[in-house]
């Protein structure tokens, strides 16, 4: 018993320094982990806050522009995010979306199902739509057209058509969105580039 | 006697620990007290990244948040900052005074941004993969501040604003130098400005040009104060960095696992001696392939840097870095428009 008491007494300084060091180490590790993992998700949350506040601030019949920042900060080459939206009565929306819902989702969770990777928010509107427009070169009549870019010098090249996609891709440092309100309906619209067709194999742009 | 010595030694450790703790506490208190927490954490993250080893640089996030400043006469900048935390500056009804306040605000924000980012002396963008030429150089931006104008006289104020004149005629806070001299060097007397070529040459009255800063004016009610940096390596640096990194990796591996590394080296060498031609072909081919990737990336990075830096600097200046597309660091005031900012920045590292 006495020996035990001596041990703590003799090594008080060492124990004190060890405890302080462990706390500092744990704090530092937690900060590093938070900084690395939270960046893109946190930015997406800020973006959705901005979308919500701006949407609520406009009156019916008005429209405004919102400039949002791409969640990727250049550290990861694989990083790519999308804004998606579903109205209250839309089918095939993520199970966690109740009512009208706007989500910002990474490429690896395009359907916005994961609450750990994607950010979704309920918006107080009956109907929400989102679309982005792009130009697409098509080879054949539209009904047979392959939904992918085609070399304009190719003999198959015929014309350029406009295509609308039900999402906005966040592929530039700053993205400008147009928001229009009509009664309890909200429409977000933006622009996108042709490369999206390659990535999504045209499935969502038909 | 020995026990007494032990007690004295321990007492001394305790005293030293307490003094050390007090010194650190005082330092931290001064550090966080002097400037707001957000600015300090931004500066600390910039220093941390700039002083990190190249391999770790990209994993150190910048903790910089865009400041929102509302210059208002009557409104509250709700068009620009819906629900966002902002600092409000009252302009009053005199358009002349309002213009001066706007010029002062923009100049101060530029200066603060330039200081926070290390005045262009700190390399905060170049990762190991860029330095070795395995990745093309890209421009990183920190959106330091957004300044919105909410006034009925906005048009008159924006038409009359002359930020370049303000920067050359006013002193930077806490300095005997003008803003322009603080941004560049004491000899700078003119201000590079994005605009037409004539405008650029007309404004350039001195041989020494301002290399760190430029202003892009637009008649937009919302401006962005932006720091941009791009630093591509040249061919010599890229290959030098490859050899240096290879040496460090090999040295570390040998230090940690001497036997394994030695046996790999010996077996590799013996195979090469047994099949010299095949080894030479494989090694030479791999080296040539990798070298071509490096050359292409370095070339593309320098071309990108030339495109970004030439937009904001004056031709014929003294900086070999910019003239030779070795990159640049700059603070700019741009209209807060996606197109304008996307032209200059490949990615933004600050938080909105």
Give residue B27's pLDDT.
66
| A42 to chain B: closest CA residue | B351
Question: What integer pLDDT is reported at residue B23 of this predicted model?
Answer: 80
Instruction: Say whether A173 and B341 touch across the interface (CB within 8 A).
Output: yes
Mean pLDDT, residues B319-341: 74
Q: How far is A76 from chain B (nearest CA, A)?
A: 9
Percent of chain B with pLDDT over 70: 82
Which among B13, B63, B141 has CB closest to A173?
B141
Per-residue confidence (pLDDT) for residue A172, from 0 to 100: 86
The answer to whether residues A103 and A94 touch, using CB atoms and an 8 Å cutoff, is: yes
A74 at B interface, C-beta within 8 A = yes
Distance CA B313, CA B213 (A): 8
pLDDT band at A166 (very low <50, low <70, confident <90, very high): confident
Position B197 scores a pLDDT of: 32
Name residues whose C-beta falls within 8 Å of residue A95's C-beta, 6 or more positions apart in sequence: A113
Instruction: Supply A202's token pair.
Output: 């045209």
For the segment A25-61, what is each residue's pLDDT rounded down to a tens digit? Answer: 777 767 665 655 567 888 899 899 989 988 888 888 8
Measured between beta carbons, which residues in chain A are less than 8 angstroms from residue B58?
75
Say how many C-beta atoms besides its own lie within 10 A of residue B78's C-beta: 15
- A36 close contact with B: CB closer than 8 A: yes
In terms of CA atoms, which chain A residue is nearest residue B222?
A67
DSSP string covering B97-156: HHHHHHHHHHHHHHHHHHHHTTTT-S--S--HHHHTTSS----EEEEEEEEEEE-TTHHH
How far apart CA A55 and CA A70 sit, in angstroms, is 19
Supply the DSSP symbol for B172.
P
For the stretch B179-213, pLDDT in tens is 887 877 554 444 444 433 333 333 333 333 334 45
Residue B241, number of CB atoms within 10 A of its CB: 20
CB B51 within 8 A of CB B336: no
Residue B73: which of B93, B55, B101 has the closest Cα?
A: B93
- What digits encode the pLDDT tens for the residues B125-171? 888 888 888 888 888 999 999 999 888 888 888 888 888 888 888 88
**Predicted pLDDT of residue B198:** 31
- Do A47 and A69 form a contact (C-beta atoms < 8 A)? yes
Size of interface A-B (CB pairs under 8 A): 72
pTM over 0.90: no
Per-window interface: B 270-289 vs A, CB < 8 A: none
pLDDT of residue B75: 82
Q: What whole-number percentage of chain A has pLDDT above 70?
A: 67
Q: Which ipTM was obtained for this model?
A: 0.72
CB B36 within 8 Å of CB B116: no
pLDDT for residue B212: 45
Residue range A132-156: average pLDDT?
54
Check residue B147 and give its pLDDT: 92
Residues of chain B with Cβ-Cβ distance to A16 below 8 Å are: 17
Q: A193 and chain B: CB distance < 8 Å anywhere?
A: no
């Amino acid at each position: 018993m006495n020996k035990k008491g001596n041990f703590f007494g003799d090594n008080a300084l060492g124990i004190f320094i060890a405890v302080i060091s462990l706390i500092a180490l744990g704090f530092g590790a937690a900060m590093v982990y938070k900084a690395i993992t939270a960046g893109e998700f946190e930015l997406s949350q800020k973006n959705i806050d901005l979308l919500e506040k701006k949407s609520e601030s406009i009156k019916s019949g008005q429209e405004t522009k919102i400039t949002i920042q791409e969640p990727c900060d250049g550290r990861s080459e694989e990083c790519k995010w999308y804004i998606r939206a579903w109205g209250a009565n839309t089918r095939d929306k993520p199970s966690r979306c109740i009512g009208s819902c706007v989500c910002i989702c990474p490429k690896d969770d395009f359907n916005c199902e994961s609450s750990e990777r994607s950010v979704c928010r309920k918006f107080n509107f009956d109907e929400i739509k989102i679309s982005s427009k792009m130009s697409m070169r098509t080879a054949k009549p539209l009904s047979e057209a392959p939904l992918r870019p085609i070399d304009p010098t190719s003999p198959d090249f015929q014309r350029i058509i406009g295509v609308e996609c039900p999402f906005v891709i966040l592929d530039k440092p700053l993205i400008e969105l147009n928001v229009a309100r009509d009664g309890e309906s909200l429409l977000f619209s933006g622009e996108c580039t042709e490369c999206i067709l390659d990535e999504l194999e045209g499935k969502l742009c038909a | 006697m020995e026990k007494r010595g032990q007690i004295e030694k321990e007492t001394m450790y305790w005293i030293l620990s307490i003094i050390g703790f007090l010194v650190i506490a005082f330092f931290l208190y001064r550090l966080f007290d002097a400037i707001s927490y957000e600015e300090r954490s931004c500066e600390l993250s910039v220093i941390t990244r700039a002083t990190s080893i190249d391999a770790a640089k990209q994993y150190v996030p910048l903790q910089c948040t865009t400041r929102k400043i509302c210059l208002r006469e009557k409104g509250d900048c709700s068009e620009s900052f819906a629900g966002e935390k902002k600092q409000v500056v009252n302009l009053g009804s005199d358009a002349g005074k309002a213009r001066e306040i706007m010029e002062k605000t923009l100049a101060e924000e530029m200066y603060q941004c330039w200081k926070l980012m290390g005045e262009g002396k700190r390399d905060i963008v170049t990762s190991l993969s860029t330095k070795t030429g395995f990745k093309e150089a890209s421009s990183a931006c920190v959106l330091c501040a957004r300044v919105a104008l909410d006034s009925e006289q906005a048009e008159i104020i924006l038409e009359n604003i002359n930020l370049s004149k303000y920067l050359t005629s006013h002193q930077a806070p806490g300095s005997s130098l003008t803003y322009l001299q603080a941004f560049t060097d004491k000899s700078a007397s003119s201000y590079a400005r994005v605009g037409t070529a004539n405008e650029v040459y007309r404004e350039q009255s001195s041989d020494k040009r301002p290399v760190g800063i430029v202003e892009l004016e637009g008649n937009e009610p919302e401006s962005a104060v932006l720091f941009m940096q791009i630093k591509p390596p040249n061919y010599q640096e890229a290959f030098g960095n490859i050899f240096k990194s290879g040496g460090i990796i090999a040295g570390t591996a040998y230090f940690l696992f001497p036997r394994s590394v030695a046996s790999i080296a010996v077996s590799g060498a013996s195979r090469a001696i047994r099949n010299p031609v095949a080894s030479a072909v494989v090694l030479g081919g791999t080296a040539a392939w990798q070298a071509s990737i490096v050359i292409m990336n370095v070339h593309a990075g320098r071309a990108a840097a030339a495109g970004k830096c030439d937009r904001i600097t004056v031709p014929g200046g003294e900086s070999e870095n910019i003239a030779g597309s070795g990159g640049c660091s700059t603070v700019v005031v741009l209209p807060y428009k996606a197109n304008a900012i996307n032209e200059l920045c490949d990615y933004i590292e600050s938080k909105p």
